[in-house]
Structure 1
């Protein structure tokens, strides 16, 4: 037996869990018409096979038809979900993991124009800022119906063979009843804490009566809303004791903060640059004062933090959910003594931001997550070793080199800089985004372990590449900032890269014209503002920074809103002229004919990148495939057609400006069949 606290078994009621690591309830949005079909099942199965003790499926599986999904929630009010969940549970049980599901009615945390266009119901008529629906206060028949729906959903999950259910009482309908901030009802469901908790307790009682004592029932709830007039830590402890004393709840899963706005959500689920495990002490206090089995997950990104959480007795089970999106094999690597081999979660929260914009969860630097069927996490050895030359050591190039080396090929990487990283290294120069360098450091370590040869400070020419007698050449040279955007004055402006790299000193009255809508403009704005400059961020879009997305926007706003920074939308920069020792910006619009001017001392343009692909085009005539990619083969996971001579490919921003995930995905799916 290991002495590692994380590897100790834990007895949860009648259920023996093989270790203390789990993936907590979350919605990766892999469902198909509300059903957990193959993509959903394989995602959870990968983690079960790799050693987690419990996979908790679904972020808020919908119990009622008037709780329509807003981010592809599972629909547990449908009978047809039972066989799908049964297959998932059977497979994960066979792999040694327990399986649970989180059930919820979203209340006002949804929209009336989703699903069946039913009215949104809550304990208040005040809308939730995040989803903008104005709810109706629940009537007696709503409450009776919702209780029945919870019971029916629990019975379905018991029939599917799950080990338990978790009731989501944080931010959703039950918490809307529980919180004095969102409960405007009269007795018996409004007023005192016992009244506000009444709906939750009636649901728990009805479920337990139906499913009996064997099915585990957990409660995920908010201990402290961190807002005046809301649930505070003392009342949070009292709520925990209500659950304990009822005898209906088998464990508590501890949250903190509210989730009704992007900033509140980000306080619950911190992103990079924010403190790790910020609510662990609160979970520990609940465990100590309430005395129930306690689970917790909130930015526990690494094994050391998780081990501390369990070793100090603050929690019984620790959730590492985003960390397992980055690397589903964490437990296996701990058991095998390979902790240094764990692919790190860098806190980019690309996963959650995509969900909240209606997409599927994707890890910024593990493109196999959610694609287990088509892009397995394990790389198979090639039948024949080849010579692979990669030009560029940014995220795409390093991934290409890593995968090629895992395949057993001989790999040489040319990189013009003295260090790897490309645009990620530039991004990581901002203190708040410093964790992004983990994307590069992990790949560099993997490549070093696999024997990849690096040639830094090397501007690769055609002769250098051909001198290696390559079988495959991968051009991953990235891009350079887009220039020439303006009708006049392109020589008078600088790029966001100039600010981020320190090549240009921040001005005192600065216009940042943002065509790309990505992090770079906000990073530059923060650097200029913190240096004391006045900043206007302008975009022709109807919203600013659309590529940054909700949760990642929060730290920027907290860094900028108390400084001299303004945002101007729906205007475009047409030209820049000299005006003495100042710069005159000529500003127009896509919406109407407009020609106005404003004066600044510095103009920064953030317009993405253009491919740095000269070497690719120079090599193209000599290559066997003339640079062509068979898209059908690429998508189907088949090798590219064999050719006489070397194969030539380009990936990432050397093709076109996209993002880090796209660059790494390019490399993985292309090279894994070489």
Structure 2
């Protein structure tokens, strides 16, 4: 038996959990028609196979028709969910992993203009800022119906073989009753006392327990401190925990601190990179100490050392490493095998959650196999034939290609013009708040070093350099350079600099600065933040109707906190038409897409953020010597099949380009290009 605290079994009621690591409830938005079908099952089964003790599915499964799925949630109110739940639980049980599901009514945390177009419900009239729907204040018959819906949904989950259910009571309907900030009712369920506020949730617990019996596991995930004026305080939270414990019907707590009604509040509950790790761990431990009830918790516990501390210090009984398991589903296996250094790190980019909250599906910024387990391997298989692979560029695309090809057993050489690897990630990591992004590079360099990949830095590769290595495959991952060619200026905009110039420190920000951000991604706001911190007067301008749409809500929060306190101006729906020198300053001509209105304004610097222009000269120099003339079999690429095109019988190597060398995109796209090209190479 291992002495590692994380690998000790834990007895939860009648259920033996094989270790102390779990993934807490989260909705990756993979359901099809509201059902957890093959993709959903494969995602959870991968983590079960790799050793996680408990997977808490759904975030959350909705129990009522007037709780439409904001996040493509599982529809627990439908009877046809039962066989799909059975397939999910069987797949995880077959791997020795326990399975539970989180049940909820979203209340005001959803919209009315989806699903059956029923009004959202709540215990008060105010809308949630994040979802913008003004709810119907619930009547007595609404309350009775929803309580019954919870019980029915729990019975379906039990019929589907689940080991238990977790009642979601933070931010959603039950918490809207429990919080003094959102309950405006009178009477039995009203805001008069803690007891009346809690009564709705207690009735839900009682109805569920009546339906599922005494042996089925039932827990509650709730906010024990809203960290907001007039809300649930830590003292009230402990009283709530004691009330729940006194029912004798609750088997575990899953502790949350904070509110989720807005992007900034959500970001404090689920911190992103640059924020403190495990900020609520000690608080969760205080609830466990006060109540003695089994306690779970997750909030940026992204490394094994912190998780081990949480267990060894007695703060938690089960530790949630949820985003960490999106980055590397094999954490437990690697801990068991003494390979902790091999764990792919969660860098806190929160690309996963931001995509969900913007209506997309959960994807890890640097594990392109996550969520694609049916098509992409988490561990690539050895190749049948060993090949000589030359890769030009050591950014995220090139390094992923090198890692995957080397893991397949190929001989890999990487040529890189700079003296260090990383490409644009190195620029990103110049901001202290985003320094963790360098983990994307460091992990791949370590993987490449373990597989004897050869690196030649300070090498501005030409065709002759590639030919001299006699490759079987040449992969161009040269990325791009900042694009300053605005359509309106018909070429490179005069007198402007790029966001890269600010991020790299090549240009010192000074005076009044315009950040013209037409790409809407991180470099624009990063440049604005660095310029403002340097003391410049900054205006961020975009032709879009909202600024930085590619950054998304949770990652936008730290930017806004940094920019607003320095009085940075945000200007939307304005387009930069031209820049001319006017004495010692620059005169910008500014228009709009909505009319023929134009104006002029003076700045000391104009910074343009407009993506990158691919560096393609080497690719075109190599095309005629390749057997495929650089052509990609798109159907094979999408299907995850080998590239077999031979359009040039005299060619001696295959040639491909990936990442920003193809078109300006993002880190995930670059890494996904490399993985799906190389895992079958």
TM-score (norm 1): 0.99
Give the Cα–Cα distance (whole angstroms) in 1 for the partners of residues 645 and 341 of structure 2: 37
Matched, 1:670 2:670: no
Q: What's the offset of the Cα at 1:484?
A: 2.5
What residue is the counterpart of 1:83 in the other structure?
Answer: 83
Equivalenced residues, count: 674
What residue is the counterpart of 2:545 in the other structure?
Answer: 542
Matches within 5 A, 1:251-400: 251-400=252-401
Matched, 1:556 2:562: no
| 8 Å CA contact 2:631, 2:645 repeated in 1 | no
| 8 Å CA contact 1:77, 1:149 repeated in 2 | yes
Match of 2:676, SS state, is helix
Match of 1:497, SS state, is helix
Give the Cα–Cα distance (whole angstroms) in 1 for the partners of residues 450 and 71 of structure 2: 40
Q: What's the offset of the Cα at 1:119?
A: 1.2
What residue is the counterpart of 1:175 in the other structure?
Answer: 175
| 8 Å CA contact 1:294, 1:316 repeated in 2 | yes
Structure 2: runs of 5+ lacking an equivalent: none
| 8 Å CA contact 1:347, 1:435 repeated in 2 | yes
Matched, 1:59 2:59: yes
Match of 2:606, SS state, is strand
Matched, 1:521 2:528: no
Give the Cα–Cα distance (whole angstroms) in 1 for the partners of residues 597 and 438 of structure 2: 43
| 8 Å CA contact 2:63, 2:105 repeated in 1 | yes
Q: What's the offset of the Cα at 1:491?
A: 3.2
Q: What's the offset of the Cα at 1:586?
A: 0.5
When residues 533 and 649 of structure 1 are mapped into structure 2, their CA distance, relative to the original with a 3 A threshold, is same
Give the Cα–Cα distance (whole angstroms) in 2 for the partners of residues 141 and 595 of structure 1: 57
Q: What's the offset of the Cα at 1:642?
A: 5.3
| 8 Å CA contact 1:533, 1:564 repeated in 2 | no
Match of 1:333, SS state, is helix
Q: What's the offset of the Cα at 1:210?
A: 1.1
After superposition, the C-alpha distances for 1:333-374 in whole angstroms (9 at most, x for unaligned) are 000000000000000000000000110000000000000010
What residue is the counterpart of 2:601 in the other structure?
Answer: 598
Match of 2:379, SS state, is coil
Give the Cα–Cα distance (whole angstroms) in 2 for the partners of residues 11 and 637 of structure 1: 42
What residue is the counterpart of 1:647 in the other structure?
Answer: 654
Give the Cα–Cα distance (whole angstroms) in 1 for the partners of residues 270 and 257 of structure 2: 9
Q: What's the offset of the Cα at 1:490?
A: 2.3
Match of 1:147, SS state, is helix
| 8 Å CA contact 2:62, 2:69 repeated in 1 | yes
What residue is the counterpart of 1:205 in the other structure?
Answer: 206
Match of 1:388, SS state, is strand
Structure 1: runs of 5+ lacking an equivalent: none
Matched, 1:465 2:466: yes
Matched, 1:151 2:151: yes
Give the Cα–Cα distance (whole angstroms) in 2 for the partners of residues 84 and 136 of structure 1: 32
Give the Cα–Cα distance (whole angstroms) in 2 for the partners of residues 588 and 157 of structure 1: 57
Give the Cα–Cα distance (whole angstroms) in 2 for the partners of residues 484 and 262 of structure 1: 34
TM-score (norm 2): 0.98
Q: What's the offset of the Cα at 1:564?
A: 2.7
After superposition, the C-alpha distances for 1:111-155 in whole angstroms (9 at most, x for unaligned) are 110100001110000111010000111101001100110010000
What residue is the counterpart of 1:656 in the other structure?
Answer: 663
Q: Which moved more, 1:198-207 or 1:634-643?
A: 634-643
Give the Cα–Cα distance (whole angstroms) in 1 for the partners of residues 24 and 581 of structure 2: 57
Q: What's the offset of the Cα at 1:60?
A: 1.1
What residue is the counterpart of 1:475 in the other structure?
Answer: 476
RMSD: 0.8
Q: What's the offset of the Cα at 1:595?
A: 2.0
| 8 Å CA contact 2:401, 2:674 repeated in 1 | yes
Give the Cα–Cα distance (whole angstroms) in 1 for the partners of residues 71 and 510 of structure 2: 42
After superposition, the C-alpha distances for 1:129-184 in whole angstroms (9 at most, x for unaligned) are 01000011110100110011001000000000100000000000000000000000
Give the Cα–Cα distance (whole angstroms) in 2 for the partners of residues 268 and 483 of structure 1: 39
